[in-house]
Amino acid sequence: MTTYTALPLPPAAHKELCTTDDAGRPAEPFTAREDGVPQDAVGSLLRCCLRDARPGERIALVSYAPLRRWAAATGAAPGAYDEQGPVFVHAEPCGGPDAAAGRYPAVRAGALRVLRRYNARGQITGGRYLEVPGEAGAAFDAALGEAFADPETALVHVRAVEYGCFQFEVRRP
């Protein structure tokens, strides 16, 4: 069985987003607090290191266009499929995911995700809804196995259904 690994934002993208996001706005760092002031970001997935934000950390909510950045690096032309949306990141470049963190970010059972498949041209070729069960790793492995069973699939983006937020990317092994 093929194993898959969630990819965080590339370090260069993270560094750029800490200054200006993909919507052209300056990053506005704040301190994550549990009481919701200035924003309830504790427990929100940080896309730079694929772990939840902790109280006291300096983070920023920025607009990120993962397919646009991938297309620029590969020469793909996603056209209308180029999306940007909100993601939380550390306000300063961090060391990326902890090697002990596992292959997928921690996610609570019952979370709703959509896996969107893209071909090498950057066009969407399908998607799959996933309600995350208690054994999230096995569920993601199965859903990604289905996605990459299509030889056209170059990468998969995992997004939250509720707000459409980009969670992580997986590329063809």
| pLDDT tens track for 99-148 | 777 789 878 899 999 999 999 999 999 999 999 999 999 999 999 999 99
State whether residue 75 is helix, strand or coil: coil
pLDDT of residue 39: 60
In percent, how much of the chain has pLDDT > 90? 72
Contact 117, 124 (CB under 8 A): yes
Is the pLDDT at 38 greater than 60, yes or no?
no
**Beta partners for 131?**
112
Sorting pLDDT into bands at 50, 70 and 90, what band is 34?
A: confident
In this prediction the pTM is 0.91
